[in-house]
A and B are shown apart, each in its own frame.
Chain A
Amino acid sequence: MTIRHRTYAELSSKDVSGLGEQVSAQTQRVAERLAGVRSCVAVMSGKGGVGKSLVSAALAAAMSRLGLRVGLLDADLVGPTAARLSGVSAPSLVISETGVEPPVSEAGVRVMSMDLLLEEGSPMAWREPDADSFVWRGTQERGALREFLADVKWGELDVLLLDLPPGTQRLVDLFELVPNLSGAVVVTIPTSASAVAVQRSIALARARGIPLLGIVENMAGYACDGCGQVGELFPGDAAERLSETHSVPVLARIPFDVAAGRAAESGSMGDLVSGTEAGGMILELARRLAEPLGLQALPAGEQP
């Protein structure tokens, strides 16, 4: 026998749990925090190992060098590196009821990364029941990303760069949290395997209506440490192919540069930008990226 009773919609009293309202309030917190941020740009790649985090950290330093106010959020929660690359070594973060102050790198970039919260060498793990973690783990990570966006005192920024992990899921999370995302920069290496993987991210971004600001081909050749001449490192022309197929401009081709590697190892993004072959190209990348974002960067030759 069917028991007849009223439905959810027919009950007029308030839903005290208001789970939907609680989720909406969370999204609203993100919007309020980012109200002073002129543009949010995702740096993404469908593939790991393309040097996306280094490009993100160097690009952030380069944009700062061009006189822009820059933040860098490491959205790679599992393999965070932005703090180390930016030379921000785990100070105690000042936290209050209104949020947490992000440390500022020597290059002037406001940085937040899971790297700053974890013990050295400690993997990111959550208090969890023994089984079925697949049910909630993605939600927990999305929650952590949301809190980094909403609870860090980003202040007034011209651009907040978001270094995404390999794959596509985090881009979806980000877009739901920041629907007015200014766009995405896609990083690839020259190989066809990379092109195939990156293509998936491009397709997803397109499907979601996220503007594609351009392609960066990293490790596009090897810059000799002695003479500076650039030779081939990987075969392929991924950036050009992706650009033609998807009508997205190639913003930069950055060679593998040992000097840049040394600067990255010591967390000196400022040195990387100002004193290396790759750094010059990243500065140019920063200048090109500022344009579609409507940001007023210092012209060539005028940066300090």
Chain B
Amino acid sequence: MKFLCVECDEQMMFEQRQLPGDGTLAATFRCPKCERVVAMLTNPMETQLVSSLGIKIGGREVPEQPLETIRSGLVGGREDAFEESEVPAGPVAWSQDAIDRLGIVPTFVRGMVKRIYADYAKENGIPEITPAVMDRARSDLGLEGM
């Protein structure tokens, strides 16, 4: 999918993705010439269709996680279904608020979510993960339901 600024005859560049939390998705594109920004808005059904394909509008920033579609979309998953063999290591710290927030993520998907946030922080040079960073990552990465 490409967006064209007809007036400038320029291909618009993907800028950011937002998940308002109501099942919809917004992706914004900016014209590099006139700076005009347009937003592509998808309804919950369209958002779900894209999500069920396991693909990301705007491209993937972090690699696909094992069983990502299943773990992020399945309802009724066993709390103890998975045992994470590796905890993300490295220089990224977690604030207490972020740890508390991570604690309310179902264990079925918690390990994967933790890894994704840690990878996001590393990629973006963020030394500490806070709830604000988690919100930003959630929007940037299209982590619907996480």
Contact = CB atoms under 8 A, between A and B. Distances in A.
Contact of A143 (B14, B53, B58, B80): B53
Nearest to A26: B54
Interface string A4-22: 0110100111011111001
Given A19-B55, A93-B83, A136-B45, 19 more contacts: A3-B6, A5-B6, A6-B9, A11-B4, A17-B55, A23-B53, A93-B81, A94-B82, A95-B85, A96-B85, A117-B70, A119-B76, A122-B76, A129-B45, A129-B48, A130-B44, A136-B51, A143-B53, A147-B70
B67 A23 contact: no
A95 B54 CA distance: 19
Contacts of B80: 92
B45 A132 contact: yes
A117 B6 contact: no
Interface string A33-46: 00000000000000
A11 B85 contact: no
B77 A118 contact: yes
A94 B76 contact: no
Contacts of B84: 95-96
Interface in B62-94: 64-70, 72-86
Contacts of A5: 4, 6, 9
Contacts of B111: 95
Interface stretch (A97-105, A173-181, A191-199): A97-105
Which 9 pairs, one residue from A and one from B, show the smallest C-beta to C-beta distance? A122-B76, A129-B44, A140-B52, A92-B83, A151-B66, A96-B85, A22-B55, A143-B69, A132-B45
Interface of B: 1-2, 4, 6, 9, 11, 13-14, 23, 44-45, 47-49, 51-60, 64-70, 72-86, 108, 111-112, 115, 145
A126 B75 CA distance: 5
B64 A29 contact: yes
A98 B66 contact: yes
A277 B49 CA distance: 48
A293 to B, nearest CB: 28
B143 to A, nearest CB: 12
A27 B48 CA distance: 20
Nearest to A139: B52
Interface residues of A, number: 54
B64 to A, nearest CB: 7
Contact of B115 (A13, A26, A97): A97
A250 B61 CA distance: 51
A105 to B, nearest CB: 18
Interface of A: 3, 5-6, 8, 11-13, 15-19, 22-23, 25-26, 29, 90, 92-100, 116-119, 122-133, 135-137, 139-140, 143-144, 146-148, 151
A38 to B, nearest CB: 23
Contact of A147 (B23, B60, B66): B66
A125 B11 contact: no
Contacts of B112: 95
B67 A95 contact: yes
B45 to A, nearest CB: 4
Nearest to B81: A117
Nearest to B55: A22
B69 A144 contact: yes
Contacts of B1: 15, 17, 19
B59 A16 contact: yes
Nearest to A132: B45
A94 B84 CA distance: 6
B119 to A, nearest CB: 9
A118 B44 CA distance: 25
A146 B66 CA distance: 11
Contacts of A122: 76
A6 B85 contact: no
A21 B81 CA distance: 31
